[in-house]
Amino acid sequence: MSIEHGDSLPCVGTQEYAQVFEEVVSIRDKLVSEAVSSQALLDQIHSGYRESARNLLYYLALRHRDLRPLQMRLAALGLSSLGRAESHVLATIDAVLELLQQLTGASVKLPAQEGKALEFNTGERLLREHTEALLGVANPGRGVQIMVTMPSEAASDYELVHQLLQQGMDCMRINCAHDDPAAWSQMIAHLRRAELSLGKTCRVVMDLAGPKLRTGPLEPGPAVVKVRPRRDVFGKVIAPARIWLYPSDQPAAPPAPADACLPVDESCLKRLQIRNKVRLIDARHSRRSFRVVDQLEEGCWAEAKQTTYILPGTTLRQRSKTGKRRWSETKVADVPARENSLLLHQGDQLIVTRDLVAGRAAVHDSAGQILTPARIGCTIPTVFDDVQAGESIWFDDGKIGGVIEKVEPDQVLVRITRTRLQGTKLRSDKGINLPESQLNLAALTDKDLEDLTFVARHANVVELSFANRASDVEQLQEQLARLGGRSPAIVLKIETRQGFENLPDMLLTAMRSACCGVMIARGDLAVECGFERLAEVQEEILWICEAAHVPVIWATQVLETLAKEGMPSRAEITDAAMGHRAECVMLNKGPHVLHAVKTLDDILRRMQAHQTKKRSMLRELRLSTHTRQPPVKSDRDS
């Protein structure tokens, strides 16, 4: 563009205004040049997203340099500091230039071939339209949607689904990593029935499992059942342990929660009566006893007031009714092996193997020194082809950290660097993260391709787990096109460092489809990028998506303690309120999920009056009426 200056300039700050003006003009030229050079890319974008894609390119070009010095100068001049330009980048810059032009007397001639910039309200309108297309129309009084992950019980419990919809659920999320198509169909059928009953609508979102890199199996632990009563701080029993005894040849589940379930001979059960005492010698050679408290056709209940360790074959003795010195005996038929784990400390070595042979704990000598390190397998052995020595590795959502010391054909040697002071247990089927490794994992597994047939027919939205690169998005688009018929909207789950770094390219690819969104999957993302960087990373994702007018789903551990235990932490309430920056907030399943939905609905409604995106809403501030008034001066004081 060309610039012409008038004959006269303001006498105050003339040079400063002129310098800032020239700098903003230079920035604008670079933005427009970037969009022009990317025209071929823009031509591939769906018509409903083309202006949004151009705005995203403007924003990426704007953020290519450090703008803080310019922001300070603009703010000092009383002008916009460009800090809220995401949804309308060029319009914000043009507004600043127009004011600077009036102050300097300069004129700006825009190139004739340049399109009209998005107006301020247009960017917000596009984001709102894209959000409604993806997630449905928002609830009155609450612009942010609520998504709820379905527990397995939702397949058999219509009332649960009905109450979730009644409390404010806008999107039902079904995780394809759990249950099966039959259960998914039941969940959706319950939702459709609830929609008719309540006169509401709700989107079905299905989450593809993706490539789950997890720890392999471990050798089973000892077959022993620990029965322990509850005690108070003084060691007194306040609740005995509940033991369910059932016939070994006719297993029967306990009618209520039990601390232990023991299979025994059926003839022995028939001889038991209420208040009978059953005696035994436990695994520690301690004399113990149970007292029968209820007799049912399927089994009987007994109570124990002492801690007892029971092995397979443990003899249970009951005094016979026919004589004081005669006893009837039976043996505990079987007890399940306990889940094993590896106790790891800082400095330990861990061997991660290619195969899924059951792992085992470290072997120590008589002095406590390690003879053979602990070992465990992993579910996707091909990752060994992509890792290198010196790269970090994390287990179980970041609870255990390590560094890869050596890569061998059949195993990787890891030095543990991060655990709790007393050590941390690593169990089977726990997540593995390799944030510094360039993994060549396909985003869609064979299971995903199989599930996609169901998803394409029944879901409004499909979530692409572990989306790492633009080719992953293209693969999903191709598979949906191959299936034909209705095509669900695509949501990119950002849960790896690679996915975060490639987000702009993946967004521009997803915007070739008619409808798309982004989920900030903060669990794995925190491990991949570092917990200390999570706040920064999620802010950047929000900015990028707002510039693209693409709705964001704020996910993972939102009100998790409330959903699981019935009482939220203070930090969780603050985190849920911050979720108002997104277009949707996701809750995970838990026994108290109904309470969590109600609480989240209330939080989001309250926050709507205070903030939208980064902009504070200046509603009446009640604190402003509580300022201390100066004392009235009396005649006596004068």
- Cβ distance 442 to 211 under 8 Å? yes
Instruction: Answer whether residue 207 shows pLDDT above 70.
Output: yes
Tokens found for residue 582: 């997104």
Residue 236 lies in a domain: yes
Q: How far is CA 525 from CA 107, 521, 539, 554, in A?
A: 47, 6, 13, 12
Poorest-confidence range of 70-79, 110-119, 275-284?
110-119
Length of the chain: 638
Average pLDDT over residues 126-147: 93
Q: What is the 3-state secondary structure (H, E, C) of 66-88?
A: CCHHHHHHHHHCCCCCCCCCHHH
Indicate which CATH number applies to the domain containing 277: 2.40.33
Indicate whether 426 and 448 sit together in one domain.
Answer: no
The residue among 510 and 11 whose pLDDT is bigger is 510
Helix axes 470-483, 503-510, angle to 10 degrees: 20
Indicate whether 457 and 420 sit together in one domain.
Answer: no
Residue 628 lies in a domain: no
Residue 123 lies in a domain: no
Indicate which CATH number applies to the domain containing 177: 3.20.20.60
- State how far Cα 251 lies from the chain centre: 38
Q: What is the pLDDT of residue 118?
A: 77
Q: Which of 518, 635, 411, 397 minimizes the C-alpha distance to 130?
A: 518
Indicate whether 456 and 505 sit together in one domain.
Answer: yes
- State how far Cα 370 lies from the chain centre: 37
Q: What is the pLDDT of residue 13?
A: 59
Indicate whether 395 and 509 sit together in one domain.
Answer: no
Residue 157 lies in a domain: yes
Mark which of 402, 433, 464 sits at the end of a domain.
433
Poorest-confidence range of 55-64, 77-86, 235-244, 457-466?
77-86
Average pLDDT over residues 515-536: 93
How would you classify residue 429: left for phi > 0, otherwise alpha for psi between -120 and 50, otherwise beta? Answer: left
Name the band, by pLDDT with cuts 50, 70 and 90, for residue 638. Answer: very low
Q: Which residues pair with 374 in a beta bridge?
A: 350
Domain that holds residue 90: 2-118
Indicate whether 7 and 91 sit together in one domain.
Answer: yes
Indicate whether 310 and 376 sit together in one domain.
Answer: no
Name the band, by pLDDT with cuts 50, 70 and 90, for residue 516. Answer: very high
Indicate whether 174 and 261 sit together in one domain.
Answer: no
The mean predicted confidence, pLDDT, of the chain is: 89
Q: How many CA atoms lie within 13 A of 167 on its CB side?
A: 22
Indicate whether 505 and 605 sit together in one domain.
Answer: yes
Residue 246 lies in a domain: yes
CA–CA separation, 578 vs 600, rounded Å? 11
Domain count, the chain: 4
Residue 100 lies in a domain: yes
Most confidently modeled range among 5-19, 63-77, 163-177 = 163-177
Indicate which CATH number applies to the domain containing 380: 2.40.33.10
Residue 88 lies in a domain: yes
Poorest-confidence range of 312-321, 473-482, 526-535?
312-321
Instruction: Answer whether residue 104 shows pLDDT above 80.
Output: no
Name the band, by pLDDT with cuts 50, 70 and 90, for residue 286. Answer: very high
Indicate whether 140 and 159 sit together in one domain.
Answer: yes
Residues 456-472: tens digit of each pLDDT = 999 999 999 999 999 99
- Cβ distance 180 to 345 under 8 Å? no
Tokens found for residue 540: 């950047």
Mark which of 433, 452, 472 sits at the end of a domain.
433
Indicate whether 593 and 493 sit together in one domain.
Answer: yes
Q: Which of 280, 263, 286, 287 minimizes the C-alpha distance to 318?
A: 280
If you search the block for the tokens 């942010």, which residue do you land on? Answer: 144
Which amino acid does the sequence have at 500?
Answer: F
Which amino acid does the sequence have at 544?
Answer: I
What 8-state DSSP symbol labels residue 153? Answer: G
Report the DSSP pairing between strands 287-295 and 277-281. Answer: antiparallel
Instruction: Answer whether residue 238 shows pLDDT above 90.
Output: yes
Average pLDDT over residues 284-303: 93
H/E segment holding residue 564: helix 560-565
Instruction: Answer whether residue 553 shows pLDDT above 60.
Output: yes
Instruction: Answer whether residue 291 shows pLDDT above 60.
Output: yes
Indicate whether 257 and 294 sit together in one domain.
Answer: yes
- Cβ distance 416 to 345 under 8 Å? yes
3-class state of residue 272 by DSSP: coil
Q: What is the pLDDT of residue 370?
A: 85
Instruction: Answer whether residue 106 shows pLDDT above 80.
Output: no
Q: What is the pLDDT of residue 633?
A: 59
Indicate whether 465 and 516 sit together in one domain.
Answer: yes
Report the DSSP pairing between strands 342-344 and 424-426. Answer: antiparallel
- Cβ distance 376 to 455 under 8 Å? no
Tokens found for residue 17: 């205004």
Residues 562-594: tens digit of each pLDDT = 999 999 999 999 999 999 999 999 999 999 999
Residue 144 lies in a domain: yes
Q: How far apart are the two ends of the chain, measured CA to CA in Å?
A: 67
Q: What are phi and psi of 111, to 5 degrees?
A: -60, 140
Tokens found for residue 520: 């900030």
Mark which of 286, 308, 331 sits at the end of a domain.
331
CA–CA separation, 542 vs 127, rounded Å? 12
- Cβ distance 585 to 144 under 8 Å? yes
Q: Which residues pair with 504 in a beta bridge?
A: none
- Cβ distance 148 to 184 under 8 Å? no
3-class state of residue 95 by DSSP: helix
Average pLDDT over residues 489-512: 96
Q: What are phi and psi of 377, to 5 degrees?
A: -90, 180
The residue among 131 and 118 whose pLDDT is bigger is 131
pTM for the structure as a whole: 0.83
Tokens found for residue 322: 């026919």
Q: What is the pLDDT of residue 469?
A: 94
Report the DSSP pairing between strands 203-207 and 225-227. Answer: unpaired
What 8-state DSSP symbol labels residue 470? Answer: H
Poorest-confidence range of 206-215, 362-371, 510-519?
362-371
